[in-house]
Amino acid sequence: MTEFMPLIDDLLVTEEEANNLTYFAFAKPLNGKPLNGKPHKAEPALAPTKASVGVLPDVLAGRYRIERLLGAGGMGAVYRARDLLSEQFGDPDPYIALKILSEEFAESPDASALLYSEFALTRRLRHDNVLRPHTFEVDTDCQRAFITMELMRGLTLDKLLCERPLGLPWKELRDIALPLLDALAYAHARGVLHGDIKPSNVMLSEEGVRLFDFGLGQAGEGILPGLPHLSRNRFNAWTPGYAAPELLEGQTLSASADVYGVACVIYELAGGKHPFRRLPSTEARAGYLDRELHPPKNLPKHCWPALHKALAFDAADRTITAAQLRDAMGATSSWLQRLRLRA
Ligand SMILES: Nc1ncnc2c1ncn2[C@@H]1O[C@H](COP(=O)(O)OP(=O)(O)OP(=O)(O)O)[C@@H](O)[C@H]1O
Ligand SMILES: [Mg+2]
Protein backbone atom coordinates (compact mmCIF):
# COMPACT_ATOMS: atom_id res chain seq x y z
CA MET A 1 0.00 0.00 0.00
CA THR A 2 1.21 3.49 -0.76
CA GLU A 3 0.27 6.00 1.81
CA PHE A 4 -0.22 9.42 0.33
CA MET A 5 0.44 11.44 3.41
CA PRO A 6 0.03 15.01 2.28
CA LEU A 7 2.41 17.43 3.92
CA ILE A 8 0.71 19.88 6.21
CA ASP A 9 1.87 22.65 3.87
CA ASP A 10 0.04 20.95 1.01
CA LEU A 11 -3.22 20.94 2.90
CA LEU A 12 -3.11 24.57 3.83
CA VAL A 13 -3.58 26.66 0.78
CA THR A 14 -2.20 30.12 0.29
CA GLU A 15 -4.64 32.98 -0.19
CA GLU A 16 -3.73 33.07 -3.88
CA GLU A 17 -4.49 29.37 -4.32
CA ALA A 18 -7.67 29.59 -2.27
CA ASN A 19 -9.00 32.17 -4.71
CA ASN A 20 -8.57 29.61 -7.46
CA LEU A 21 -10.16 26.66 -5.71
CA THR A 22 -13.68 25.55 -6.40
CA TYR A 23 -15.81 25.83 -3.28
CA PHE A 24 -18.22 22.99 -2.68
CA ALA A 25 -21.26 23.44 -0.57
CA PHE A 26 -24.06 21.08 0.23
CA ALA A 27 -26.88 23.57 0.34
CA LYS A 28 -28.99 23.32 3.46
CA PRO A 29 -32.69 24.16 3.55
CA LEU A 30 -33.20 27.50 5.26
CA ASN A 31 -34.65 27.07 8.79
CA GLY A 32 -35.37 23.47 7.91
CA LYS A 33 -37.90 24.63 5.29
CA PRO A 34 -37.75 23.25 1.77
CA LEU A 35 -36.23 25.55 -0.80
CA ASN A 36 -39.15 25.24 -3.26
CA GLY A 37 -36.67 25.34 -6.09
CA LYS A 38 -36.17 29.09 -5.61
CA PRO A 39 -32.73 30.56 -6.18
CA HIS A 40 -30.86 30.85 -2.93
CA LYS A 41 -27.39 31.43 -1.69
CA ALA A 42 -25.59 28.38 -0.32
CA GLU A 43 -22.96 28.78 2.35
CA PRO A 44 -19.75 26.87 1.68
CA ALA A 45 -19.87 23.80 3.90
CA LEU A 46 -16.25 22.90 3.31
CA ALA A 47 -13.30 25.18 3.79
CA PRO A 48 -11.21 25.66 0.67
CA THR A 49 -8.46 23.31 1.71
CA LYS A 50 -6.97 20.85 -0.68
CA ALA A 51 -8.87 17.62 -0.25
CA SER A 52 -7.19 14.73 1.54
CA VAL A 53 -7.21 11.62 -0.60
CA GLY A 54 -6.10 9.31 2.23
CA VAL A 55 -4.67 5.86 1.68
CA LEU A 56 -4.71 4.45 -1.83
CA PRO A 57 -3.51 1.07 -3.08
CA ASP A 58 -0.30 1.06 -5.15
CA VAL A 59 -2.25 -0.26 -8.13
CA LEU A 60 -5.87 0.65 -8.81
CA ALA A 61 -8.26 -1.80 -10.48
CA GLY A 62 -5.33 -4.24 -10.93
CA ARG A 63 -4.01 -2.10 -13.73
CA TYR A 64 -3.04 1.49 -12.94
CA ARG A 65 0.12 2.00 -10.89
CA ILE A 66 -0.04 5.34 -9.12
CA GLU A 67 3.21 7.26 -9.57
CA ARG A 68 2.81 10.79 -8.30
CA LEU A 69 0.41 13.56 -7.43
CA LEU A 70 -0.18 16.03 -10.26
CA GLY A 71 -2.67 18.33 -8.62
CA ALA A 72 -5.31 18.53 -5.95
CA GLY A 73 -8.53 20.46 -6.24
CA GLY A 74 -11.60 21.09 -4.15
CA MET A 75 -13.00 17.59 -4.71
CA GLY A 76 -10.15 15.19 -5.07
CA ALA A 77 -6.77 14.63 -6.57
CA VAL A 78 -5.22 13.85 -9.91
CA TYR A 79 -2.30 11.43 -10.16
CA ARG A 80 0.06 10.41 -12.88
CA ALA A 81 -0.22 6.64 -13.27
CA ARG A 82 1.20 3.89 -15.48
CA ASP A 83 -1.23 1.65 -17.30
CA LEU A 84 0.41 -1.74 -16.70
CA LEU A 85 -1.78 -3.44 -19.30
CA SER A 86 -0.81 -1.18 -22.19
CA GLU A 87 2.78 -1.35 -20.99
CA GLN A 88 2.63 -5.14 -21.17
CA PHE A 89 1.56 -4.88 -24.79
CA GLY A 90 4.51 -2.66 -25.58
CA ASP A 91 2.83 0.75 -25.56
CA PRO A 92 5.76 3.21 -25.62
CA ASP A 93 3.76 5.78 -23.63
CA PRO A 94 1.67 3.93 -21.05
CA TYR A 95 1.24 6.99 -18.84
CA ILE A 96 -2.18 8.36 -18.00
CA ALA A 97 -3.73 10.77 -15.53
CA LEU A 98 -6.18 9.44 -12.95
CA LYS A 99 -8.71 11.56 -11.06
CA ILE A 100 -10.03 10.19 -7.81
CA LEU A 101 -12.37 11.71 -5.24
CA SER A 102 -11.07 12.63 -1.83
CA GLU A 103 -12.08 10.37 1.07
CA GLU A 104 -14.75 12.69 2.40
CA PHE A 105 -16.35 13.16 -1.03
CA ALA A 106 -16.06 9.47 -1.96
CA GLU A 107 -18.59 8.62 0.74
CA SER A 108 -21.28 10.81 -0.78
CA PRO A 109 -23.25 9.08 -3.56
CA ASP A 110 -23.72 12.51 -5.14
CA ALA A 111 -19.97 12.84 -5.51
CA SER A 112 -19.55 9.59 -7.50
CA ALA A 113 -22.43 10.67 -9.72
CA LEU A 114 -20.71 14.01 -10.18
CA LEU A 115 -17.48 12.26 -11.18
CA TYR A 116 -19.38 10.06 -13.62
CA SER A 117 -21.11 13.10 -15.04
CA GLU A 118 -17.72 14.78 -15.53
CA PHE A 119 -16.60 11.71 -17.47
CA ALA A 120 -19.75 11.49 -19.61
CA LEU A 121 -19.74 15.20 -20.46
CA THR A 122 -16.07 15.20 -21.42
CA ARG A 123 -16.51 12.03 -23.48
CA ARG A 124 -19.20 13.79 -25.50
CA LEU A 125 -16.59 16.27 -26.68
CA ARG A 126 -14.08 15.33 -29.33
CA HIS A 127 -12.06 18.40 -29.96
CA ASP A 128 -8.34 19.09 -30.22
CA ASN A 129 -8.60 21.61 -27.41
CA VAL A 130 -10.59 19.53 -24.95
CA LEU A 131 -8.95 16.95 -22.69
CA ARG A 132 -9.48 13.36 -23.84
CA PRO A 133 -10.98 11.08 -21.21
CA HIS A 134 -10.31 7.30 -21.35
CA THR A 135 -12.45 5.38 -18.82
CA PHE A 136 -14.59 5.61 -15.70
CA GLU A 137 -13.81 2.78 -13.26
CA VAL A 138 -14.28 1.61 -9.71
CA ASP A 139 -11.59 -0.12 -7.69
CA THR A 140 -13.62 -2.85 -6.03
CA ASP A 141 -11.15 -3.36 -3.16
CA CYS A 142 -11.04 0.21 -1.97
CA GLN A 143 -14.51 1.06 -3.32
CA ARG A 144 -13.38 4.26 -4.97
CA ALA A 145 -14.49 5.54 -8.34
CA PHE A 146 -11.99 7.22 -10.65
CA ILE A 147 -11.54 8.56 -14.16
CA THR A 148 -8.58 7.77 -16.39
CA MET A 149 -7.62 10.31 -19.03
CA GLU A 150 -4.83 11.51 -21.26
CA LEU A 151 -1.83 12.76 -19.35
CA MET A 152 -1.32 16.41 -20.25
CA ARG A 153 2.25 17.60 -20.02
CA GLY A 154 2.57 21.31 -19.62
CA LEU A 155 1.46 24.26 -17.54
CA THR A 156 -1.97 25.27 -16.33
CA LEU A 157 -2.76 28.92 -17.02
CA ASP A 158 -2.57 29.84 -13.32
CA LYS A 159 1.04 28.61 -13.27
CA LEU A 160 1.73 30.40 -16.55
CA LEU A 161 0.39 33.61 -15.01
CA CYS A 162 2.78 33.19 -12.07
CA GLU A 163 5.67 32.97 -14.53
CA ARG A 164 4.39 35.87 -16.64
CA PRO A 165 2.96 38.35 -14.11
CA LEU A 166 2.72 41.14 -16.70
CA GLY A 167 0.64 39.07 -19.07
CA LEU A 168 1.36 37.79 -22.56
CA PRO A 169 2.05 39.69 -25.77
CA TRP A 170 -0.81 39.54 -28.26
CA LYS A 171 0.73 36.83 -30.46
CA GLU A 172 1.05 34.45 -27.51
CA LEU A 173 -2.25 35.50 -26.01
CA ARG A 174 -4.05 34.89 -29.30
CA ASP A 175 -2.56 31.38 -29.54
CA ILE A 176 -4.18 30.52 -26.22
CA ALA A 177 -7.40 32.57 -26.35
CA LEU A 178 -8.57 31.39 -29.78
CA PRO A 179 -8.23 27.63 -29.15
CA LEU A 180 -9.76 28.08 -25.70
CA LEU A 181 -12.75 29.91 -27.17
CA ASP A 182 -12.96 27.31 -29.96
CA ALA A 183 -13.17 24.57 -27.32
CA LEU A 184 -15.83 26.41 -25.35
CA ALA A 185 -17.91 27.31 -28.41
CA TYR A 186 -17.73 23.68 -29.52
CA ALA A 187 -18.79 22.40 -26.07
CA HIS A 188 -21.74 24.80 -26.09
CA ALA A 189 -22.70 23.70 -29.60
CA ARG A 190 -22.68 20.07 -28.31
CA GLY A 191 -24.94 21.08 -25.44
CA VAL A 192 -22.26 20.91 -22.76
CA LEU A 193 -21.72 23.70 -20.26
CA HIS A 194 -18.43 23.81 -18.35
CA GLY A 195 -19.41 25.61 -15.16
CA ASP A 196 -15.95 26.27 -13.75
CA ILE A 197 -13.81 28.11 -16.29
CA LYS A 198 -10.70 29.44 -14.54
CA PRO A 199 -6.94 29.48 -15.19
CA SER A 200 -6.28 26.22 -13.32
CA ASN A 201 -8.77 24.38 -15.53
CA VAL A 202 -6.97 25.21 -18.77
CA MET A 203 -3.66 23.57 -19.66
CA LEU A 204 -1.10 24.78 -22.12
CA SER A 205 0.13 21.29 -22.92
CA GLU A 206 2.82 20.02 -25.26
CA GLU A 207 0.00 19.23 -27.66
CA GLY A 208 -1.68 22.60 -27.44
CA VAL A 209 -4.37 24.22 -25.32
CA ARG A 210 -6.69 21.85 -23.43
CA LEU A 211 -9.87 22.77 -21.57
CA PHE A 212 -10.59 20.26 -18.79
CA ASP A 213 -12.36 19.63 -15.48
CA PHE A 214 -16.02 19.42 -16.45
CA GLY A 215 -16.75 18.38 -12.85
CA LEU A 216 -19.29 21.16 -12.49
CA GLY A 217 -20.50 20.90 -16.07
CA GLN A 218 -24.04 20.28 -17.17
CA ALA A 219 -25.73 18.93 -20.24
CA GLY A 220 -28.41 20.94 -21.98
CA GLU A 221 -32.08 19.90 -22.29
CA GLY A 222 -32.46 16.46 -23.84
CA ILE A 223 -28.70 15.81 -23.94
CA LEU A 224 -27.44 12.73 -22.09
CA PRO A 225 -30.91 12.29 -20.55
CA GLY A 226 -29.86 9.23 -18.52
CA LEU A 227 -27.36 11.23 -16.47
CA PRO A 228 -28.47 11.89 -12.92
CA HIS A 229 -29.54 15.50 -12.70
CA LEU A 230 -27.72 17.02 -9.81
CA SER A 231 -29.75 19.79 -8.37
CA ARG A 232 -27.77 22.92 -7.70
CA ASN A 233 -30.03 23.39 -4.71
CA ARG A 234 -28.39 20.34 -3.14
CA PHE A 235 -24.94 20.65 -4.46
CA ASN A 236 -23.53 24.07 -5.06
CA ALA A 237 -20.06 24.94 -6.12
CA TRP A 238 -18.27 27.91 -7.50
CA THR A 239 -14.90 29.59 -7.83
CA PRO A 240 -15.49 33.07 -6.46
CA GLY A 241 -13.27 35.09 -8.81
CA TYR A 242 -14.55 33.52 -12.03
CA ALA A 243 -18.20 32.65 -11.41
CA ALA A 244 -20.75 35.06 -12.87
CA PRO A 245 -22.93 36.93 -10.35
CA GLU A 246 -26.07 35.01 -11.27
CA LEU A 247 -24.32 31.72 -10.40
CA LEU A 248 -23.27 33.04 -7.01
CA GLU A 249 -26.90 34.03 -6.50
CA GLY A 250 -28.06 30.46 -7.09
CA GLN A 251 -29.29 30.61 -10.66
CA THR A 252 -28.75 27.68 -12.97
CA LEU A 253 -25.65 27.41 -15.09
CA SER A 254 -25.85 28.91 -18.57
CA ALA A 255 -23.55 29.34 -21.55
CA SER A 256 -23.45 33.03 -20.69
CA ALA A 257 -21.97 32.26 -17.25
CA ASP A 258 -19.18 30.29 -18.99
CA VAL A 259 -18.60 33.33 -21.21
CA TYR A 260 -18.10 35.52 -18.11
CA GLY A 261 -15.50 33.03 -16.74
CA VAL A 262 -13.57 32.73 -19.98
CA ALA A 263 -13.57 36.52 -20.41
CA CYS A 264 -12.01 36.91 -16.93
CA VAL A 265 -9.32 34.38 -17.91
CA ILE A 266 -8.53 36.13 -21.22
CA TYR A 267 -8.47 39.56 -19.58
CA GLU A 268 -6.04 38.25 -16.95
CA LEU A 269 -3.77 36.69 -19.56
CA ALA A 270 -3.70 39.93 -21.53
CA GLY A 271 -2.39 42.16 -18.76
CA GLY A 272 -1.50 39.88 -15.83
CA LYS A 273 -4.36 41.27 -13.75
CA HIS A 274 -7.81 39.86 -13.09
CA PRO A 275 -10.47 42.37 -14.27
CA PHE A 276 -12.00 42.68 -10.80
CA ARG A 277 -9.08 41.98 -8.47
CA ARG A 278 -10.21 38.34 -8.16
CA LEU A 279 -13.16 39.49 -6.10
CA PRO A 280 -16.34 37.45 -6.18
CA SER A 281 -18.34 38.99 -9.02
CA THR A 282 -21.21 39.97 -6.72
CA GLU A 283 -18.80 41.99 -4.57
CA ALA A 284 -17.18 43.52 -7.63
CA ARG A 285 -20.64 44.50 -8.90
CA ALA A 286 -21.58 46.03 -5.54
CA GLY A 287 -18.37 48.10 -5.70
CA TYR A 288 -19.12 49.20 -9.31
CA LEU A 289 -15.71 47.90 -10.35
CA ASP A 290 -16.94 47.63 -13.93
CA ARG A 291 -16.85 51.43 -14.15
CA GLU A 292 -13.08 51.36 -13.62
CA LEU A 293 -12.46 48.62 -16.16
CA HIS A 294 -9.79 49.49 -18.74
CA PRO A 295 -8.73 47.47 -21.77
CA PRO A 296 -5.82 45.22 -20.75
CA LYS A 297 -2.39 46.26 -21.92
CA ASN A 298 -1.74 43.62 -24.57
CA LEU A 299 -5.18 43.43 -26.11
CA PRO A 300 -5.58 44.92 -29.60
CA LYS A 301 -8.22 47.64 -29.70
CA HIS A 302 -10.55 45.74 -31.99
CA CYS A 303 -10.99 42.94 -29.41
CA TRP A 304 -12.02 45.17 -26.52
CA PRO A 305 -15.73 45.82 -27.26
CA ALA A 306 -16.42 42.07 -27.42
CA LEU A 307 -14.37 41.21 -24.32
CA HIS A 308 -15.95 44.10 -22.44
CA LYS A 309 -19.42 42.84 -23.27
CA ALA A 310 -18.47 39.32 -22.13
CA LEU A 311 -17.46 40.75 -18.74
CA ALA A 312 -20.88 42.31 -18.07
CA PHE A 313 -22.11 41.55 -14.54
CA ASP A 314 -25.72 41.45 -15.64
CA ALA A 315 -26.44 38.37 -17.77
CA ALA A 316 -28.95 40.44 -19.77
CA ASP A 317 -26.10 42.74 -20.89
CA ARG A 318 -23.73 39.85 -21.63
CA THR A 319 -25.13 39.49 -25.12
CA ILE A 320 -22.24 37.64 -26.70
CA THR A 321 -21.60 33.93 -27.21
CA ALA A 322 -18.29 32.11 -26.97
CA ALA A 323 -18.33 31.71 -30.77
CA GLN A 324 -18.92 35.45 -31.29
CA LEU A 325 -16.15 36.32 -28.85
CA ARG A 326 -13.88 33.95 -30.74
CA ASP A 327 -14.76 35.58 -34.05
CA ALA A 328 -14.20 39.06 -32.65
CA MET A 329 -10.82 38.11 -31.23
CA GLY A 330 -9.79 36.21 -34.35
CA ALA A 331 -10.68 39.06 -36.71
CA THR A 332 -7.84 41.21 -37.90
CA SER A 333 -8.21 44.88 -37.14
CA SER A 334 -9.34 47.01 -40.08
CA TRP A 335 -6.06 48.94 -39.82
CA LEU A 336 -4.05 45.71 -40.25
CA GLN A 337 -6.34 44.61 -43.04
CA ARG A 338 -5.76 47.90 -44.89
CA LEU A 339 -2.01 47.54 -44.43
CA ARG A 340 -2.09 44.00 -45.84
CA LEU A 341 -4.17 45.05 -48.82
CA ARG A 342 -1.66 47.78 -49.64
CA ALA A 343 1.33 45.40 -49.43
N1 LIG B 1 -5.16 14.96 -17.39
C2 LIG B 1 -4.30 15.64 -16.63
N3 LIG B 1 -2.98 15.65 -16.91
C4 LIG B 1 -2.10 16.34 -16.15
N5 LIG B 1 -2.45 17.09 -15.07
C6 LIG B 1 -3.77 17.13 -14.74
C7 LIG B 1 -4.75 16.43 -15.50
N8 LIG B 1 -5.96 16.67 -14.95
C9 LIG B 1 -5.73 17.46 -13.89
N10 LIG B 1 -4.43 17.77 -13.76
C11 LIG B 1 -3.82 18.62 -12.70
O12 LIG B 1 -4.56 18.47 -11.50
C13 LIG B 1 -5.19 19.71 -11.10
C14 LIG B 1 -6.57 19.41 -10.52
O15 LIG B 1 -7.36 18.79 -11.54
P16 LIG B 1 -8.92 19.10 -11.68
O17 LIG B 1 -9.08 20.55 -11.97
O18 LIG B 1 -9.50 18.17 -12.67
O19 LIG B 1 -9.41 18.75 -10.21
P20 LIG B 1 -10.50 19.43 -9.30
O21 LIG B 1 -10.51 18.64 -8.04
O22 LIG B 1 -11.78 19.51 -10.03
O23 LIG B 1 -9.92 20.88 -9.06
P24 LIG B 1 -10.70 22.25 -8.72
O25 LIG B 1 -11.88 21.90 -7.91
O26 LIG B 1 -9.70 23.10 -8.00
O27 LIG B 1 -11.04 22.83 -10.07
C28 LIG B 1 -5.19 20.55 -12.35
O29 LIG B 1 -5.21 21.94 -12.09
C30 LIG B 1 -3.92 20.10 -13.06
O31 LIG B 1 -2.78 20.74 -12.52
MG1 LIG C 1 -9.99 22.04 -11.50
93/48 Cα distance (integer angstroms): 35
3-state secondary structure of 96: strand
Which is the closest atom of ligand 1 to the Cα of 215? 22
Model confidence band, residue 243 (pLDDT cutoffs 50, 70, 90):
very high
Q: Within 6 Å (CB) of ligand 1, which residues are found?
A: 21-22, 70-71, 73-76, 78, 97, 99, 131, 149-152, 156, 196, 200-201, 212-213, 215
101/86 Cα distance (integer angstroms): 24
What CATH architecture does domain 154-342 belong to?
Answer: Orthogonal Bundle (1.10)
List the residue whose alpha carbon is closest to atom 9 of ligand 1.
Answer: 78
31 vs 175, residue with greater confidence? 175
Q: Which CATH superfamily is domain 59-149 in?
A: Phosphorylase Kinase; domain 1 (3.30.200.20)
The C-alpha R_g of the chain, in whole angstroms, comes to 20
The predicted-structure confidence for 330-339, as pLDDT tens digits, reads as follows 987 666 666 6
CA-based nearest residue to 260, from 325, 192, 179, 168: 325
2 vs 177, residue with greater confidence? 177
3-state secondary structure of 35: coil
Alpha-helix residue ranges (DSSP H) falling in the chain: 8-11, 15-20, 84-88, 103-106, 109-123, 157-163, 170-189, 245-248, 255-271, 281-286, 304-310, 322-330, 334-342
pLDDT at residue 55 is higher than 90: no
The residue extents of the domains of the chain are: 59-149, 154-342
pLDDT at residue 39 is higher than 90: no
Residues 6+ positions from 86 with CB-CB distance below 8 Å: 94
330/70 Cα distance (integer angstroms): 33
The rounded Å distance from CA 71 to ligand 2 centre is 9
CA-based nearest residue to 302, from 267, 325, 332, 272: 332
CB 238 within 8 A of CB 248: yes
106 vs 61, residue with greater confidence? 61
184/224 Cα distance (integer angstroms): 18
What average pLDDT does range 207-230 have in this prediction?
88
Nearest ligand to the CA atom of 53:
1
Which range is least confidently modeled, 76-85, 229-238, 259-268?
229-238
Model confidence band, residue 36 (pLDDT cutoffs 50, 70, 90):
very low
**So what's the pLDDT on residue 89?**
97
Ligand 1 pocket: which of 22, 69, 70, 101 to mutate (most atoms within 8 A of CB) = 70
**So what's the pLDDT on residue 52?**
62
Q: By percentage, how much of the chain surpasses pLDDT 70?
A: 78
Please state, as a whole number, how many other Cβ atoms lie within 10 Å of the Cβ of residue 141: 11
CA-based nearest residue to 270, from 147, 152, 177, 190: 177
Which range is least confidently modeled, 7-11, 53-57, 218-222?
7-11
The rounded Å distance from CA 222 to ligand 2 centre is 26
CB 20 within 8 A of CB 241: yes
> What's the chain's average pLDDT?
84
pLDDT at residue 297 is higher than 90: no
Alpha-carbon dihedral 329, 249, 115, 140, rounded to 10 degrees: 160
Model confidence band, residue 235 (pLDDT cutoffs 50, 70, 90):
low
**So what's the pLDDT on residue 75?**
76
The predicted-structure confidence for 100-141, as pLDDT tens digits, reads as follows 988 777 777 778 888 999 999 999 999 999 999 999 999 999
**So what's the pLDDT on residue 113?**
86
Ligand 1 pocket: which of 78, 129, 197, 204 to mutate (most atoms within 8 A of CB) = 78
CA-based nearest residue to 130, from 199, 191, 186: 186
